[in-house]
Structures are given as C-alpha cells and as structure tokens.
Amino acid sequence: MKKLLLIAGGALGIYLVIVLLIAVFPAIDLSGTPAGPGVKPLTALQAEGRTVFVANGCSYCHTQQVRPLDEDKVFGRPSAPGDFAWQTPELLGSERTGPDLANVGASKPSDVWQYIHLFDPRAVVPESIMPNFKFLFRVVDKVPPGETAVPMPAGFAPAAGKVIPTQQAKALVAYLLSLKQTPIPGYAMNGSMGGATNAAPMAKAEPAPAASPAGAYRYVASKGESLFTANCSACHQATGAGIPGAFPPLKGNAAVDDEDPTLHIHTVLQGAHGVIIDGVKYDSAMPPFAGQLSDADIADIVNYERGSWGNHAVPVTPAEVAAVRAKGP
C-alpha cells in the first residue's frame, strides 16, 4: 500500500512540476507583456461583440493566431503576445475550418461586407461553408429612422422587406473590425520575420510606406493578382463584377478604363464613398490603402484592374502613383 502511495505521490509531483513549467510560469512571464504598438482596449461595443462572437461559437471554426509559416502569410504577420494584451482569455482557437481572423478588420474593413457575409456568406464568398446568421438581423417593411438597410444582392435578399442589423449584429461587426494587426519592428505584414522573435521590442509602429524611389519598374501580372486578391477581391469579387447595390464593379468601370489614371489611383490611395456608376449609387465605404501599400504595390493593383476582365487601359508606374500620393486626399 505504501509503495502505491509513493508511486501515486511521485506521479502527482511530476505532473505538478510539468504544469508549473509549461503553463503557470510561462503565463506569469507573459502577463507582464506590454501591449503592442497601436493595440488598444476594446470599446464597450466591441467588447459586447466579443461576447456575441463567443456565444455563437465563432472560435470553433476561426483562429486568431497567425503562425510563422508560409501557409499563414496570407493572414498577416506572425502573432505576438502584445497583440492580446487587452483580451483575456485569448480567443486563439485550434480549428481553422474558416480563415484566421487576427487581421480581418484590415483585410475586410467594410462593415457592409461584414453584414452581408453574416446574413448569407454565399452572397460574397460563393464557396463558403459557413452557416448564415440571419437571426442577428430583422426584416422590416420600412427602415426605421437612424437605421441603414443592408444592401443584400439579388438572389440573397428576402422576398419582401429590408434587412436591418440588430444590436448584436452591430456589436459583432464592431468587434470583427477591431481585429487589425499593427506593424511591429522586425516583422513584415506578409508574415515573414526579419530575424525577430515574439519577444521583439514593441516600442513604435513602422511608418507608412514611403514613396517609391525612381528606378526600373516591371509589372508582373501574378503579383498584381495576388495583391488584388488579398486587398480588393472580397468586395469587388475575383470576376471584377462587384456586388450589385453594395460594391461597384471594376469590369467596364469608366474610371478604371480611363486613359487618365489619376482618379483610379486616387481612389485606391484615398478610398471612396457614395460613388455613382451607371446610375447606381454605392453607399458602402472603400477604405484608403495609402498607409499600408507602397507605390509599387498600388501600381501593381491598378495595373491588374486596368488590364483584366476586358479592361484595356494604359499601365501606370510607381512614379505616377507617387505623384498622386503627394497631392494628398
């Protein structure tokens, strides 16, 4: 009997030591990690949305941790402890049935897109297997004062009435849009690590991309397509057709196919809101990309759009982008 007690006690002791070494001590060590650059506490609405996120089991299918692997580069830079300084417990997740959400506020920055996606994911991502969350919305005959109807595409809108987000939907979207990675010295936003570790100093965010220096530039269609896919296709779609009533088309768009690229470049740099194309007004806001993409990146995206889906406009150079950037908003 004594031998059994000794064995049990020894096993328990070993277990406790292992727990201390791999869980308790690391947790204590990381508890003092400062918030990363630009990482702020959640607002009351965002915190409410985090509760909705948890309550609806979103973390069962979506992670919020970008690993330092090539396959994760599409989601952003590798996650660091400072990214989670204001979120306890962290919703890292373990199952990636759907895409990682660590940077979804930057990759999908449109609240309109988020609402459409929640109401019916197939409306914006045809191949999606995500269930719809229509119970987070109301269908009304008349839009109440102060509310804005979600511009659901034909085929996904209810047979009658307008779609209105509930308070829970508004909170959830506010939380999703808050999930934005900020630059960290030693990290690249495409997921590579410049020799840094997760404990790299987090003092200052890297400055916005500077204007490209003069030099040889060669447009590579595959790079343009990759940048378009990562930054633009969610709203404008891979076909360039956009989503009727929600996001404008790029295919056959007069500004995109114009011989003078100034308006096209300015729109990508500074964003747009309330544009009218072929008599249709698009109230959804397009975010500016001036602060996160270089002149060469902008040129690649613009050239991809100007040469795809039947568009045949003259290519642009980083120097032309720099000139438009210099004029400001």
* Domain ranges within the chain, ordered by starting residue: 37-203, 221-327
Distance set, CA 297 to CA 51, 73, 76, 108, 205 (Å): 37, 17, 16, 18, 20
Q: Tell me the average confidence (pLDDT) per consecutive run of 10 residues in the chain, 329 residues long.
A: 75 83 71 78 96 95 92 87 85 90 89 95 92 96 92 90 96 96 69 35 39 70 91 91 89 93 95 84 85 92 95 94 92
Contact in structure between 108 and 76 (CB atoms under 8 Å): no
Assess whether the region 37-203 and the region 221-327 belong to the same CATH fold. yes
Dist CA 318 CA 126 (whole Å): 34
Dist CA 161 CA 84 (whole Å): 41
> DSSP letters of 103-122?
THHHHS--HHHHHHHHH-GG
What pLDDT is recorded for position 3? 76
- Candidates 298, 292, 304; CA nearest to 324 is 298
What pLDDT is recorded for position 204? 37
What pLDDT is recorded for position 198? 32
Contact in structure between 84 and 181 (CB atoms under 8 Å): no
Contact in structure between 202 and 183 (CB atoms under 8 Å): no
Convert the pLDDT of each residue in 134-171 to its tens digit: 999 999 999 999 998 999 988 899 999 999 999 999 99
What pLDDT is recorded for position 113? 93
The CATH number of 37-203 is which of 1.10.520.10, 3.40.50.9100, 1.10.760.10, 1.10.287.890?
Answer: 1.10.760.10
Q: Is-above-0.85 flag for pTM?
A: no
Convert the pLDDT of each residue in 294-321 to its tens digit: 999 999 999 999 999 999 999 999 999 9
Which residues are CB-neighbours of 301 under 8 A, at least 6 positions away? 224, 227, 228, 231, 232, 268, 289, 293
Domain 221-327 architecture: Orthogonal Bundle (1.10)
What pLDDT is recorded for position 206? 38
What pLDDT is recorded for position 197? 32
